[in-house]
Amino acid sequence: MKQFLRYLVGVIPHPRLTFEALAKDASIRPAAALVLGYGTLSGSMFLISFLRGNWPPPPDEMSVWVSAWGEFTQLPFLKIPAEQYRLFQAILMLPLVLAIWMLMAATARLLGTLLGGRASFDQYLKVLGFSFFTFWLLAHILDTAYNLLLGPYLVPAIQGEYGPLAGGFVRNFPPWLYIILFGLAGVYNGIAAHTAERGAGVSYAMWKPALVGLLTFAWPMMLVSALLR
């Protein structure tokens, strides 16, 4: 537990030191605990939302969300009844995060091999588990706080009742939150790849981990943006 907390607290301010320690760690359990814990937490919150009937909101309220952020971000992408979508997400979350974790590590490992890297699949699982999911967890916490603290004021703010400054903040906070934090997750994926390969004794040019960071960031975002509402 202490080791897990040390990694979790250290990954953002001290990424290289944390990734070096993770790559050398004989156990994959800290990374697995973070990924499984996040998937379970997120799935549980979707299940609670479904049981409480919190989504979809009434049609007039939904029209406000759609006007603010567009149909793609607010309405189900898959042909699933809106009333059942939170249940679908609750069931989906744990398999989704596990798939993203494993496919990110496989992508990084494949690219690493093609580019002359030597870091193992297990090492990529360990470093990418923390480089990506730490930011996803942080984004989830901040998004939840935004909705809990401002929930009753969101619709009036979007409709301009509190002035343009409040309306602009309410509209721009969610998209910029995810753009910034997931963008940082991609950057940290690159740092993690560079650190893992350097630890494996490879002189890794900076463009190579940058490519790994970009690709391991891009397709998970496609899945997340298509499936989660």
pLDDT at 65: 87
Q: pLDDT tens across 177-217, in order?
A: 999 999 999 999 999 999 999 888 777 788 888 999 999 98
Q: Count CB atoms within 10 A of the CB of residue 128.
A: 31
Q: What is the pLDDT of residue 36?
A: 96
Q: Is the residue at 56 inside a domain?
A: no
Is residue 45 scored above 80 in pLDDT? yes
Residue 181 is inside which H or E element, if any? helix 164-199
Q: Is residue 72 in a domain?
A: no
Find, among 106, 99, 100, 134, the residue nearest to 22 by Cα: 134
Kindly write down the DSSP assignment for every residue of 94-143, as one continuous string.
HHHHHHHHHHHHHHHHHHHHHTT----HHHHHHHHHHHHHHHHHHHHHHH
Do the domain assignments include residue 76?
no
What tokens appear for 124 in the block?
A: 């990529």
Q: Which of 29, 10, 26, 30 is nearest to 18 (CA)?
A: 10
Domain interval for residue 220: 2-27+95-227
What is the spatial distance between Cα 132 and Cα 187, in angstroms, rounded to a whole number?
A: 9
> What pLDDT shows up at residue 46?
93
Contact (CB, 8 A) for 101 and 137: no
Q: How confident is the model at residue 78 (pLDDT cuts 50, 70, 90)?
A: confident
pTM over 0.85: yes
Q: Is residue 14 part of a domain?
A: yes
Query: For residues 64 and 158, is the Cβ–Cβ distance under 8 A?
Result: yes
Per residue in 115-168, pLDDT (tens digit) is 988 999 999 999 999 999 999 999 999 999 999 999 889 999 999 899 999 999
- The C-alpha atoms of residue 41 and residue 62 are separated, in whole angstroms, by 25
Q: How does pLDDT run across 9-26, given as a tens digit for each residue?
A: 999 999 999 999 999 999
**What CA–CA distance (Å, rounded) separates 23 from 2?**
17
CB atoms under 10 Å from CB of 162, counted, come to 14
Closest CA to 98 of 48, 43, 46: 43
Largest CA distance in the chain: 60
**Is the model's pLDDT at 227 over the cut of 80?**
no
Residue 84 lies in a domain: no
- Does residue 36 lie within any of the structural domains? no
Domain count, the chain: 1
Residue 175 inside a domain? The answer is yes
